[in-house]
Amino acid sequence: MSLPIADPAARISSFNPVAKLAATMVMTLTLLLSIDPVSAGVMLAFVLAALPFTGLGARMLWLRTWPLLIAAVLGAAATVLYGRPSGDSYLQWGLVQVTDGSLQLALAILLRVLAIALPAVVLLSTTDPTDLADGLSQLVRLPARFVLGALAGLRLVGLLIEDWRELSRARRARGVADRGRLRRFAGQSFALFVLAIRRGTKLATAMEARGFGASGARTWARPSVLRPRDAVLVLIAAAAATASATVALAAGAWTFVWAL
């Protein structure tokens, strides 16, 4: 099992992975600069409007995104309680201060988490890691040894998850699965590392035996090409980012994170 790709048949999956990565980065970096409900809200609206065009099924989307909702709610809840205080205060107890300001910030945080993570999840979960590696090496010109070495290691995730379940069952068979969950987690993680390193060492030998890492030019069996549609994607992402920033600035809501 390699990393599960959400839906290879969806339209979004056929875009060049490097373009998708660039689009994600553009949107994320813009949103990271400010914590305000307007920029996040505009971006979120944009993303939700674009979702039908990606060709992803609703169930697939839900499966991938429900942890985001939980995280967003939690983050917002913490902010309500401890957010930077300003305006009227509604509750005060120890370090807890629920104020106008903290409520506003909580809304901003809620929208921000969703706006940042949602496009990333959609774009990146529809990317095949091998295609991404091809793109990064051929187009962005990252060193092939590292990109491919990482890709090969990445393929082991599926095996490691299987290993983890075997390790859990082994502990049940050895009589130690009833209590001490934290200790067991630590011990099991360690065993996972040992297995992972052993596999990796063997894999490295196999890769070297196939000529990997030797000097000399490398060719590419799968060309990574940028098409006009990829440029369009990046432009749309840039437009969304600019729009959300502009609207927030115009509304006076934009606040740089460090100036909060």
Asked if 59 interacts with another protein (CB under 8 A), we say: no
* 56 close to 6: Cβ distance less than 8 angstroms: yes
The residue to which tokens 């990317």 are assigned: 127
- Shortest reach from residue 64's CB to another protein, in Å: 7
Closer to another protein by CB, 112 or 230: give it.
112
Closer to another protein by CB, 124 or 243: give it.
124
3-state secondary structure 86-144: CCCEEEEECCEEEEHHHHHHHHHHHHHHHHHHHHHHHHHHCCCHHHHHHHHHHCCCCCH
Positions in 190-209 near another protein (CB under 8 A)? 190-209
C-alpha 201/C-alpha 219 separation (Å) is: 25
Asked if 236 interacts with another protein (CB under 8 A), we say: no
Asked if 103 interacts with another protein (CB under 8 A), we say: no
Near another protein by CB under 8 A: residue from 45, 139, 142, 160: 160
Asked if 222 interacts with another protein (CB under 8 A), we say: yes
Q: CB under 8 A: which stretch of 42-50, 103-111, 228-236, 238-246 binds another protein?
A: 103-111
Asked if 164 interacts with another protein (CB under 8 A), we say: yes
Please give the biggest Cα pair distance in the chain.
Answer: 69
Near another protein by CB under 8 A: residue from 60, 142, 155, 238: 155
* 233 close to 15: Cβ distance less than 8 angstroms: yes
